[in-house]
Amino acid sequence: MIVAGVDAGARAIKIVLLDHEGSRVLASGVADQGVDPGGRARTLLEQVLDTSGASRSDISIVVATGYARNAVAEAVTTITEITCHARGVSHLLPETRTIVEIGGQDSKVLYLGDRGIVRDFAMNDRCAAGSGRFLEVLASRLSLRIHALGELTAQSRAPVPINSTCVVFAETEITGLLAIGAAPADIAAGVLAAIGSRVLAMVGSKLMPPTVLTGGVALIPGMASALRESLGQPITVAPNPQLTGALGAALLAADRVR
């Protein structure tokens, strides 16, 4: 028997299949969220099962997390993404004490105690300016794919400060900077620095190393470096950072089976 964790996030669906003991990842997958998260999750689950050589009847339990977790009809229970990311990251990197999770629509800072238990957290959910959506807006204005931003940022010589705290106003600010001839590389570097500054504002004085960066935005080259500079601390990027929420959900599913 196997278990499944589904992270129905704001921008993407992620699924991880584990053996029922939670000791081995059998398969995983990622798909865009779309307008039908329940349907997308169902389709992706079938694809991941096919990759693993298993069938629906082999799944003993499905646990869902993320914004659209209640749309996952296959799930027997739902658990918050805070708990799932904490479990996933602490499973991969047990010494972690602070998690910075930057997703499609928000960012979170989780503070962990012994055994990966969440003892406190902070969340920026009022504006997308500290999230992947901010980078999507930037990439669109520069006519780039979002993952090309890291390579562009590496070319920056003088990052341009981005002062707007709202993604809508920040887009207007970026348009103005382009109009006056600011280099795209310097604007991109400024946006990554702005995200790092927003995370710093959430962290305050509570930061406890080791600190791990996770979430889809962790895949953007240059994001970890920008965060490291803002926080003044070493930053480790979680293995497969887009999947840690789904991994945590699958591990919690395995707990229920045991």
Q: Which domains can be identified in the chain, with CATH numbers?
A: 2-87+242-257 (3.30.420.40), 95-237 (3.30.420.40)
> What global pTM score does this model have?
0.91
Q: DSSP readout, 182-250?
A: --HHHHHHHHHHHHHHHHHHHHTT---SSEEEESGGGGSTTHHHHHHHHHTS-EEEPSSGGGHHHHHHH
* Pair 13, 7: CB distance under 8 Å: yes
The per-residue pLDDT of the chain, averaged, comes to: 90
Note if the bond before 210 is cis, omega within 30 degrees: yes
Say whether pLDDT at 93 is over 60: yes
Q: Rounded CA gap, 108 and 103, in Å? A: 8
H or E element, residue 126: none
Say whether pLDDT at 205 is over 80: no
The string of pLDDT tens digits covering residues 146-181 is 878 888 988 998 999 887 767 677 788 888 999 999
